[in-house]
Structure 1
Amino acid sequence: MIDDDRPVLDNHLHLDPDNNRGIDAVRDFVRVGGTHMLVVNKPSWHLGVEADAGEDFRPVFERTLEIVADATAELPGRAWPVLGIHPGLISRLVDERGYTPEQAREIMQGGIDVAAEYVESGDALALKSGRPHYEVDDDVWASSNAVMRRAFEYGAELDCAVQLHAEGSEDLTEVTEWAEEAGLPAHRVVKHYAGGRLAGPIPSVICDKDELERASERGEPFLMETDYIDDPDRPGAVMGPKTVPRRVAWLLENGHEDAVRNAHVETPEYVYGIDTESTLESA
């Protein structure tokens, strides 16, 4: 069992404010010991927004802030919003809507500009960006990297972390070098859906037991996530909302007390500047 006073953070999940489980998923998370979560806005087109300019993303971000506030009301700790543009949007813009890669870049960078406003005002904790995890042509790849670099520039300016959706890899040091060139320290770049070994960004480890073992044994900073997508057509995908607390219990049963503190107390403070212990106590 997980102690009532132990922070348990899901670093990356989505909540649908309108069409699926939403707050019921948060209640499931709490019932098995979850306390904190970082809620990433769903891809804009999943919320019915087909953007032609940066401002078009604002309703997506506003709805995310609303469901984060509702989630916080249910949690023993709290939730924080992570706002940005899903990198897969570039394919939707280019392949389905006829934009050039350069035009798509401008639309997506405009969305990052708007997301950064929420970080600057204190309404959001971090930014989300990245590049496609599948093969694309050179122009799309270059435009995607330019969008990601824009997020790094804001991360440096606003002193906030940037979560990345990117290809599977155990070495993304090139990406963190770009971040550092922009003035953003490597430890403020987080690779979402990571394995247990990763050079460059901080890994947000998907809750596969083997990958969690690797991260625990490595002894470096890491986070834990489900990437729960709250999609009515894909129930439970990628992992259900109960998974992080259950994996924390499993890690504790297997003697990984230090790793649990690393992932749920020390690394959140190191990456985001959040205190999961005091926010739990005050709740």
Structure 2
Amino acid sequence: MTDDLDTPVLDNHLHLDPRHGRGIDAVDDFARLGGTHLLVVNKPSWLLGVDVEEPADFQAVFEETIDAVDAATDALPGRAWPVLGVHPGLVNRLVDDRGFSPEEARDLMCGGIDVASEFVDAGRALALKSGRPHYDVSDAVWEASNAVTRRAFERAAEIGCAVQLHTEASEDLTDLAAVAESVGLDPTNVVKHYAAGRLAGPIPSVMSEKDRLKRAAESDEPFLMETDFVDDPDRPGMVLGPKTVPRRVRWMLESGYEDAVRRAHVETPAAVYGIDTEATLEA
């Protein structure tokens, strides 16, 4: 039985791992509580057992994510879309664990972004994912990571898609918005995942905790909602569960934030990604 909320309900950033995690069971939980749409981000390559040596090695990661999205779409009253890219944490695995230079890591990761871009350009994925580490790194690794992010912006500008960013915790990322603008990508097509309630620069994809959502709802600015569900059986309590976004939407509606719900689940997805969460919702 579905808990109908009478609105599209989009989780903007979560992971699905049918091989190791809950997979479609997590999608069923989301849908039962009233969830309708998902943006599924590929898990970091190494967590799917892929130690990349060349850009083509990312293809297996992306194909597995697309398969999970297809299964999720079958289980949803709306649909799911893939967001593909290279997790910025890969740079340290390459440099610290595998002996790559920061420049070699940069080039491999840029190549992964190029491969992801081909999927988007072919209509098989919706957006790109990139960013920089959220922890302290050397200047050379920071520079390499920013170069990878810039490549994602360049490719997104070329093919006309959005970019989801994994970055350090901040309420001011105008530096990255300026980089996007400098290569022809509108900053309104740049999304910071795991955001607080307000953000200068990119569009915030707000972690669905009540205090953060209250700030976002009262700001009158565009925002999205997410859980960053990791779907890892070894880390069952990591981040937020798949039921969280529909539960928070219900709380927002009960709290008088109807306009904010529409902004997060209809208007902002349309503006950022060009998706119509109402037209893709079954009656």
TM-score by length of 1: 0.98
Unaligned runs of 5+ in 2: none
Letter of the 1:201 counterpart: P
Structure 1 SS opposite 2:84:
strand
- What is the CA distance between 1:52 and its match in structure 2? 1.2
Letter of the 2:150 counterpart: R
Conserved? CA contact 1:195–1:211, under 8 Å? yes
- What is the CA distance between 1:171 and its match in structure 2? 0.4
* Percentage identity across paired residues of the two chains: 69
Structure 2 SS opposite 1:204:
strand
CA offsets per residue over residues 241-265 of structure 1, 9 Å max, x none?
0000000000001000000000000
- What is the CA distance between 1:237 and its match in structure 2? 1.7
- What is the CA distance between 1:150 and its match in structure 2? 0.2
CA offsets per residue over residues 8-59 of structure 1, 9 Å max, x none?
0000000002011000000000010000000000000000000011111100
Conserved? CA contact 1:38–1:82, under 8 Å? yes
- What is the CA distance between 1:107 and its match in structure 2? 0.6
Aligned counterparts, 1:1-283, within 5 A: 3-281=4-282
1-structure distance, mates of 2:185, 2:6: 33
Structure 2 SS opposite 1:279:
coil
1-structure distance, mates of 2:73, 2:237: 21
- What is the CA distance between 1:86 and its match in structure 2? 0.2
Structure 1 SS opposite 2:280:
helix
1-structure distance, mates of 2:267, 2:192: 17
Conserved? CA contact 1:14–1:228, under 8 Å? yes
Conserved? CA contact 1:17–1:63, under 8 Å? no
Conserved? CA contact 1:17–1:64, under 8 Å? no
2-structure distance, mates of 1:144, 1:20: 29
Conserved? CA contact 1:85–1:112, under 8 Å? yes
Conserved? CA contact 1:228–1:236, under 8 Å? no
1-structure distance, mates of 2:62, 2:3: 33
- What is the CA distance between 1:5 and its match in structure 2? 3.7
1-structure distance, mates of 2:21, 2:43: 12
Structure 2 SS opposite 1:278:
coil
- What is the CA distance between 1:277 and its match in structure 2? 0.1
Large movers: runs of 4+ above 3 Å: 1-5
- What is the CA distance between 1:177 and its match in structure 2? 0.4
Conserved? CA contact 1:20–1:232, under 8 Å? yes
Letter of the 1:20 counterpart: G
